[in-house]
Structure 1
């Protein structure tokens, strides 16, 4: 979360190979670098990472700064509206971000070079993970090759500018400074109502909702979203409703941690007799949901479970408005490959399209942009780490819109005498139970991680993967790091090759799918497993073959016939993780063969 800023925008003059300044200012060659004296009197610069300035001469271009903090998805919406322009942005310490000029993205075509110049990008720190997210002109996070080209530009200009270049007082006095927050927020809330399907039920809903913004930016925006849907405002957790960079009331400002970080929300919900808790993370782009069950305490939904509910809800309402089966041919849902396959099951039975992407919402966001340009309609997308996008407001996960959509779904189901959890069981009865488990081991040593995955890829001999896990035969292996996929005739993975990280997926004979991958933000090896039962059955575990012990007795805490080493890798020496615990590498466990 941060104050947003855009500036130094100059229209590209097609065919000139350069940029034209406003008010008759001279054209500048495309590759000419802005000098410090020019930036002192205008252009775009940043003194503290969140403020920029422009000169006061009338032929210069406006700088857009924010008067307050706001969710990243609102920033994405602003970027979409301002697409097709160029931005040069000077970061703190003189590190300059210069846009790439390669890549077919939204922008104006350079007639001389016959390639597209992209629009602009924006830096937004992630409050929870401490990383920086850069957004492209289409509103999605950047992907290759733009990320590498930006890094290269930064490395080429590491020398800080002189202090004499900065005139911070212009930020407050410059007549070209504008604050588009009111306009863009109004636009976002107006578009949000396209996801509202049952306003009459919302206005009369007896349910109470508690909302925690986890010391972030979500409070005001979730309140406004509830108003836009006709709801009474949710009850805020007072200790957590205002931005606080120290996150003083929680040990970890990440609602994905579940009940352990929802203590204040649960206490408030009990006092207020509220049945639903909505928790947005500090950036308000992720959403956690808990529901009170009669006599059974609180149910905190996983990201995969919420996706099953939201995916069902979005298609249920879309189908109600589009009864013609032919319309379904343009409908898509997306999910990252480590997320539940429940949307894939929906698509196979209901007749719409489903696609997987690599982990990370940047892949989903850019794929949404591509599909939209072809006239398709992505009505829902998600990643298992509680990141959801309902509809196509922005190509980014959105905790604000997801929160109010969950509230409307809960209100609708309450009117049918159903809870969210009861509806989840109904979905599983119709489409088959999808039992998933996520675990991880911590490893701070990159060499050890490399050794682990090298061993998996050369298990019994060179270029040989394990053949069984927990006594269950492995029927397919997909290695996105190398581009290998044994399930395809050409043995090539459909997903893009990502050599900078490790990710291997095993499909077991009993229907379990397991993926091992390195985290992009933490020193962890993550393990994602799921078992999908056949539709129309109550089966939640694979049936054992004659002479075998039942799969559900494998020792997996999550059940579902998932072999124990895939559920709790920290307890088993899977894939060479003996190295992590200090056990000699030659101690090969019998779980992998």
Structure 2
């Protein structure tokens, strides 16, 4: 197909015409070509500007956007161009190991995008291990797991995780099974830009698959890798000494929902073959959300964290006198829990930080049950991201094990876990507050299925050991380490420049006394530690160099403060950062105090003080629903 200038109306803006003509020349997909042609016929220049004025940027999370025609969206041409650049970069990095793993979830166009990705790698000489024979789906963690077990150089998973139904994504894992970190992200982006012209006019992906299957360069490995994943789960995460909970003969004892995603198949295999749980005997599955459905019909937003997302699950549990609900997000790399508080009788969804503490507590108990000699040669370490709770940092101080925080994202958590393992540490767990949990001896990325299994084992252990429920474990932790309570939220902006203006106001204008950073926030809080990972300054380190990597292109400030009004040992820590993917300025606030009410009130007070002193919606135009 060639470009069709005649369909572009005479009144097409000059700064659009060139990009549209280029698109129509390069794109061989009839659906997306017709989409652009129709927009031109409708003279919808505003929409066309949105899609063609900029190109989607490849970052550490790969690509993610709405599925539409245009250089800034997810579509066959953009997937082709990204795969060409990625394949060329990886070929240069690993010239003697041209192997790739490709998988996809159940979203609209995921199969098509995965076939394009695999075909590009095949055409430049790679052997491709493909996880999706016929119309099957896989959960995201199986890709990094397979990268490690097949010694592949690269892995690509087509998924948009818990994004809205019309989004899709292109998630990349490096040869170590972790998401990519700098400088690979920028190098890959540059190589993509150098390889935007399609290498071939042949877009017959079916014939490419057929040819390479015969030549054994394309290998279907879903069954093999799933079996290895189950075996690893049994060997690494499941203790034979932990059985079902002693819950007074109640059966079933939990409800599971895969949130219209891919989790049901793998979860039920593990439940039956490893945990020896039987569906409808030990647990119920939410029927309306059991099978993969890219339309996500029962939820407005397919994220277990969203209000109302677990309503069907808790309703099913309540009807059957069950007090535990567990959930995966659609690609099963995240995990959430709702539980009925045995003392109050009320249902409560646990926060990502609370679940993180419960996992850390369980892993510590398991570690301490090992003999002294094993512990001496396997020093314990745990990790979370800097926007997550500091409660396990306090736990580490009290219990004498190693703790570190990282930048936001599992690309940092996973890579740091490998570094620590290389230094001789035993690293059983890492997490991020956005319901992501990693068990790095299994997979060096968040894994919602592993999290579900470990949580069920922990729940059984606590109940059998001393009759404790999750809220009891949390209460014990609060009493021992302090009451840690969060108030996380975000502001929305129209102009991306607003974020930098707010951060620069904090750095250079808020405190006019000549200090390198503000000493106070209003009349309410005194700043004790100030860390700016954009400018590269930290107030409490030698030479004031930050203890985490600096990125001048990403706005991020973390502060530790104390209330000026003396209320004991209370402290507040918060991170303010600009989102890299959404028009949001995010705030992660956590207060610690010697009682729950004080911690809750203090976190909320900090939100309000920051709103008044730094965010200033009446000046900046930012809006929030928090």
TM-score tier, shorter chain, comes to: 0.7 to 0.9
Q: Is the 8 A contact 1:466 1:474 kept in 2?
A: yes
**Equivalent residue in structure 1 for 2:181, among 137, 143, 149:** 143
Could you tell me which residue of structure 1 aligns to residue 39 of structure 2?
Answer: none
Change (3 A) 1:55 1:360: closer
SS in 1 for 2:369: helix
**Pairing of 1:182-331 with structure 2 (within 5 A):** 182-193=223-234, 194-197=236-239, 199=241, 201-202=243-244, 206=250, 208-227=253-272, 228-233=274-279, 234-258=283-307, 260-294=308-342, 295-324=344-373, 327=376, 330-331=379-380
CA gap 1:323/1:567 in 2 versus in 1, 3 angstroms: farther
CA RMSD of aligned residues (A): 3.4
Of the three residues 409, 413, 421, the one matched with 1:372 is 421
Q: Deviations over 1:24-56 (max 9, x none)?
A: xxxxxxxxxxxxxxxxxxxxx978535538989
TM-score, normalised relative to structure 1? 0.77
Deviation by residue 1:246-303 (Cα, 9 ceiling, x = unmatched):
2111001011224x21111111112222211111001111111000124432011001
Residues 436 and 447 of structure 2 are in contact (CA less than 8 Å); yes or no, is this contact kept in structure 1?
Answer: yes
Residues 453-492 of structure 1: pairs in structure 2 closer than 5 A: 453-458=503-508, 459-461=510-512, 464-470=516-522, 471-492=524-545
Task: Report how far residue 457 of structure 1 moved.
Answer: 0.6
Distance 2:350 2:490 in 1: 19
In 1, the alpha carbon distance for the partners of 2:293 and 2:372 equals 47
Q: Which residue matches 1:64? A: 130
2:496, 2:275 → 1: CA distance?
A: 48
Conservation of the 8 A alpha-carbon contact between 1:329 and 1:351: no
Residue 67 of structure 2 aligns with which residue?
A: none
Could you tell me how far apart the structure 1 residues matched to 2:144 and 2:156 are? 9
3-state secondary structure, aligned to 1:435: strand
Report SS of the residue matched to 1:482.
Answer: coil
Cα 1:292/1:60, change in 2 over 3 Å: closer
What CA distance in whole angstroms lies between the structure 2 residues aligned with 1:478 and 1:20?
Answer: 41
- 1:55, 1:338 → 2: CA distance? 40
Deviation sequence 1:421-458 (CA, Å, 0-9, x none): 11110111122221222111111311111111110111
Query: Match of 1:37?
Result: none
Provide the secondary structure at the position in 2 that maps to 1:178: strand
Distance 2:418 2:97 in 1: 28
**Runs of 5+ in structure 2 lacking a partner?**
1-63, 65-79, 100-111, 563-569
For residue 154 of structure 2, give the secondary structure of its aligned residue in structure 1: coil
Q: Who is 1:511 aligned against?
A: 571
Match of 1:529 in 2: 589
Aligned CA distance change for structure 1 residues 576 and 190 (closer, same or farther; 3 Å): same
Q: For the structure 1 residues 363 and 567, does the alpha-carbon distance in structure 2 shift closer, same or farther, using more than 3 Å as the test?
A: farther
Deviations 1:110-143 (A, max 9, x none): xxxxxxxxx2242433232344321101110001
| 1:455–1:383 Cα change, 3 Å | same
Task: State the 1:218 CA deviation.
Answer: 0.8
Q: Which is helix-richer, 1 or 2?
A: 2
* Residue 468 of structure 2, aligned match among 412, 415, 418: 418
Tell me, in whole angstroms, the C-alpha distance in 1 between the residues paired with 2:328 and 2:127: 36
1:330 is displaced (CA, Å) by 2.1
Which of the residues 492, 502, 510 maps onto 1:452? 502
Gap change, CA 1:134 and 1:346, over 3 Å in 2: same
Aligned-pair CA distance for 1:13: 12
Tell me how far apart the structure 2 counterparts of residues 501 and 231 of structure 1 sit (CA, whole Å): 46
Cα 1:247–1:55 change in 2 (3 A) is closer
Offset at 1:229?
A: 2.2
**3-state SS of the aligned residue for 2:415?**
helix
Equivalent-residue separation in structure 2 for 1:419 and 1:285 (angstroms): 25
For the structure 1 residues 179 and 451, does the alpha-carbon distance in structure 2 shift closer, same or farther, using more than 3 Å as the test? same
Contact 2:91-2:98 within 8 A present in 1 as well: no
1:483 offset after TM fit, Å?
A: 1.3
C-alpha distance in structure 1 between counterparts of 2:535 and 2:420, whole Å: 27
- Quote the Cα distance in structure 2 between the aligned partners of 1:186 and 1:17: 28
Tell me the distance in 1 between the aligned counterparts of 2:609 and 2:302.
25
Partner of 1:49: 116
Distance between the aligned counterparts of 1:582 and 1:349, measured in 2? Answer: 41
Task: Look up the SS of the partner of 2:265 in the other structure.
Answer: helix
Gaps of 5+ in 1: 23-44, 86-118, 542-551, 553-557, 584-593
Q: Is 1:179 matched with 2:230?
A: no
Distance 1:17 1:420 in 2: 46
Indicate how the Cα distance of structure 1 residues 567 and 264 shifts in structure 2: closer, same or farther if over 3 A, else same: farther
Instruction: Give CA deviations for 1:286-342 in whole Å, capped at 9, x if unaligned.
Output: 111000124432011001111111100011012112344852762110000111011
